[in-house]
Structure 1
Amino acid sequence: MAVGYLEILRTRHAARLLAGTLVGRLPNITGAMAVMLFVRAEGGSYSLAGALVAVYGVANAVGQPVLGRLVDLHGQPRVQMAAALVSALGMVGFAFTGVEQLAAAYVFVAVAGLFTPPLEGGLRALWPSVLRKEEQVHRAYAMDAVAQEVMFTLGPLLVTLSVSLWSARAALVLLNVIGVLGALSVVVSAPSRAWRSAPREAHWLGALRSPGLLVMLSAFLFVGIALGSITVAAASYADSRGGDAVYGWLMAGLGLGALVGGTVYGARQWSGAPERRLRVLVALLAVCYLPLMLMPGPVAMTALSALAGVFLAPCIACAFVLVDRHAPRGTVTEAFSWLVTTFTVGSSVGTGLAGPVVEAGGALWGFVVPGAAGGVSLLVLLVTGRVLAVPREGAVVAVAAENDPNRAVEPRFSSGDRA
């Protein structure tokens, strides 16, 4: 797998696109944590912090599919760059407004979320045009998930370092300036400038007319709720165990676990249908959230956080395959953006739900939420298994399965979405 990753990264433009996308997404990756620390530094409550994070997440959820559809219709550079600039200005405005002027704070946070550029969906739309071979695209999806977890590991540490060296306000500004530079690196590249979506059937539902995609979105809504609730529960736990430094390590541990899990997942070949594999992965994800309720000391709790993250990246990597299988032709960026949207909405709901739960019952009850949400996600996948197994209408069948040594027949990737 290491050789396979190197082969992809040596492909022209691949390393730049991956790095630029990850850096460009840094404000979004660290947004919930940075906003929460800033609100707490300004003297705001957990409920206020959770509400602002929820507004940011909901606005992000609204903006991602809209911007994704605009990318499919008009190309990447104009949409991605303009969105990145407006989003950064919104968060910088929030940083200098603070929480005393609540109306302005909510507006700025909403603008920052609404215009977050759909870089994640854009990258996955670019992979087929850069790599050409379907087996490389499968591997790139796994590498993409692993690389994201590197940022989820380093991002919290970067936030806490910036807060320690300067302030929570400076951290917000710095992260968004870096994000704009990452987006710029992507949109000026040749693949981004040349990419065009495949011809699409005019339909007001766009990607949402696919039943299989709707199933995926329903399941990952609850995965997002689980992850969002951990953010608040971990903050409450850290307040009595060492403060912001412990909180940063818990969040970094969660990302590190996902990094390890994603690396192991991508290191072997998988046979069989990916929808069955996703059910197993989501079940394991839900089970690994349960030990967090033990709430041991900071070192052991960091280890449990890492365990809780182990199956996150494999779930995401497997979901990429299924989203592409079920996305209607010409809607690939929008489809991936809907997945990001659903995950973000779930995360925002999780933070908004966990805030009052933590204030009412403490960190213990906050850690109950992710296990319950993971169980509901598994239930959705089990109940809708037949729908998820049916490929999208008009899918092309090819002898090229996801990491399948038996070369089982399944619908191929959307190669029609190449430049």
Structure 2
Amino acid sequence: MTSSSYPVVSVLRAPHTGYLLFTSLVGRLPGAMAALAIVQLVRSTSGDFGFAGLVTAVYVVAGAVGQPLLGRLIDRFGQVAILTVSGILSFLAFTGMALTLEPVPALAVALAAAAGVFTPPLEPALRALWPRLVSPGPHLKAAFSLDAGAQEIIFIIGPLLTVAGIAVFGPVGNLLFAGGLGLVGALAFVVNPAPRAASVRRHPDAAARPRVGTPILIPAVARIAVCTFGIGVPVGALTIVATASEVARNSDGLAGWILAVNALGALIGATVVGIRPLGSTPARLLTACGALLAVGYLPLAATALPTWAYVVAAGISGLMLPPTLGQVFERIAQLSPAAALTEANGWVVSAMTLGVGAGTLVAGAIVGAAGTPVVTWIVVGASAVTAGLALAALPGRAEVGEARSDPAARAETGSV
């Protein structure tokens, strides 16, 4: 059977795609390393977990703010300049944060914010390139699903690299290591011809072209962002659910297994839809996929399940995440003006980040107040939020054919 029978294989064989996916994943690693790296560094100095939580929260929230802002600059000035400058600034902020956490904590908090704001927007940048790199239809669907599945690899490798980095470089050096990976990934990404070609196309006429308003003000795009926030809620709550389950079952290491198997389930889901992309349009599929994602988490509400069955349930809960996110990315590519596509993807990344953060925060507060028996209601509540907000993605009549009616969008989605 030829590779054309498997769109994901054709995507990986297309020029630039494998390299861009790999380098973008390297550049995104700080996002999966920073939280644990910061906690371990604070633990080795003041030991104040409250301060560690504050610094981590500042970094995460600042990153959610920075992605659409930097995405807008990319849409205006091209990928090469913005990714290069933001990568350097983020690395310098990581370096300053590592060196000032103990002697000047207030400065470290400010530098954590800078590291987050200047995080290179490699995720939205790559998703803005996919329509240029692969043909529409099954191949583009496979590309977005592959991207969503590969994201899971980051959250498997990131904590392991943090442990290795601390062992080799120490807590301070490990934070520098994390920031360095982000810089290396960003610089490696922009030396590829595809980002440079995209930048050359945009930059010469950037001053002459009328500014495009922020895509988040497009009602359809805003509704997709709301839906994506809902997708992130159970993902964030799972961290607390896994930890609470480990405590309730008195089973050391269970939380790690639950999260790892959940990520494995997501990889399986990404592989399946990469080989056999979903046939319908994202306008029709997104709400259905969101509802299935919500349903997939419900077995975790059955806290009386045997441990092995509960771990299997964690894997099931991850299956629909990449297919659902794949529909999000494809729908955003349809709805956003081509001249604002990177910013639109930045808003989606931020929405997901905030959803994960909200899920973790609320679930942690509930377990802290009521104990582990409330895990069932946390799972049910998080699933209800996902299913409810998935309804926001339902298209209105005015949106039918909206992306097709934009000649500029069609003109700018040719291959590199």
Q: Shorter-chain TM-score category?
A: 0.7 to 0.9
Equivalent residue number for residue 44 of structure 1: 48
Shift of 1:115: 0.7
User: Matches of 1:348 and 1:148 in 2, distance apart?
Assistant: 17
Residue 381, structure 1, aligned to residue 385, structure 2 = no
Unaligned runs of at least 5 residues, structure 2: none
**CA distance 1:163–1:295, shift in 2 (3 Å):** farther
RMSD over aligned CA atoms reads 3.3
Residue 309, structure 1, aligned to residue 350, structure 2 = no
SS in 2 for 1:30: helix
- TM-score calculated relative to the size of structure 2: 0.84
User: Matches of 1:282 and 1:355 in 2, distance apart?
Assistant: 23
Preserved CA contact (<8 Å) 1:324 1:413: no
Preserved CA contact (<8 Å) 2:138 2:277: no
Which residue, 55, 60, 65 being the options, matches 1:62? 65
- Share of identical aligned residues, percent? 33
Residue 341, structure 1, aligned to residue 337, structure 2 = no
Shift of 1:318: 1.0
Residue 131, structure 1, aligned to residue 139, structure 2 = no
Equivalent residue number for residue 381 of structure 2: 372
What one-letter code is carried by the residue in structure 2 that aligns with 1:92? T
Shift of 1:280: 2.1
Which residue, 11, 14, 17 being the options, matches 2:14? 11
Which residue, 114, 119, 129 being the options, matches 1:116? 119
**CA distance 1:308–1:89, shift in 2 (3 Å):** farther
SS in 1 for 2:258: helix
What one-letter code is carried by the residue in structure 2 that aligns with 1:158? L
User: Matches of 1:363 and 1:56 in 2, distance apart?
Assistant: 28
Preserved CA contact (<8 Å) 2:233 2:385: no
Shift of 1:227: 1.8
Q: Which moved more, 1:24-33 or 1:67-76?
A: 24-33
What one-letter code is carried by the residue in structure 1 that aligns with 2:341? V
User: Matches of 2:101 and 2:246 in 1, distance apart?
Assistant: 23
What one-letter code is carried by the residue in structure 1 that aligns with 2:318? G
- TM-score calculated relative to the size of structure 1: 0.83
**CA distance 1:305–1:33, shift in 2 (3 Å):** farther
User: Matches of 1:140 and 1:315 in 2, distance apart?
Assistant: 13
Shift of 1:67: 0.3
User: Matches of 1:277 and 1:348 in 2, distance apart?
Assistant: 26
Unaligned runs of at least 5 residues, structure 1: 398-410
User: Matches of 1:212 and 1:231 in 2, distance apart?
Assistant: 31
User: Matches of 1:394 and 1:4 in 2, distance apart?
Assistant: 23
Structural mapping, 1:6-405, within 5 Å: 6-39=9-42, 43-45=47-49, 48-98=51-101, 101-132=104-135, 135-163=138-166, 167-196=170-199, 201-203=210-212, 205-235=213-243, 237-238=245-246, 241=250, 246-293=254-301, 294=303, 301-365=310-374, 368-369=377-378, 371-382=380-391, 385-387=394-396, 390-391=399-400, 393=402, 395-396=404-405
Q: Which moved more, 1:327-336 or 1:129-138?
A: 129-138
Shift of 1:246: 4.7
Shift of 1:25: 0.6
User: Matches of 1:319 and 1:295 in 2, distance apart?
Assistant: 34
SS in 2 for 1:95: helix
User: Matches of 1:81 and 1:304 in 2, distance apart?
Assistant: 42
**CA distance 1:160–1:249, shift in 2 (3 Å):** farther
Alignment deviations for residues 107-126 of structure 1 (CA, whole Å, 9 cap, x no partner): 12211111111101111222
SS in 2 for 1:331: helix
Paired residue total: 403
Shift of 1:258: 0.8
Preserved CA contact (<8 Å) 2:8 2:274: no
**CA distance 1:367–1:317, shift in 2 (3 Å):** farther
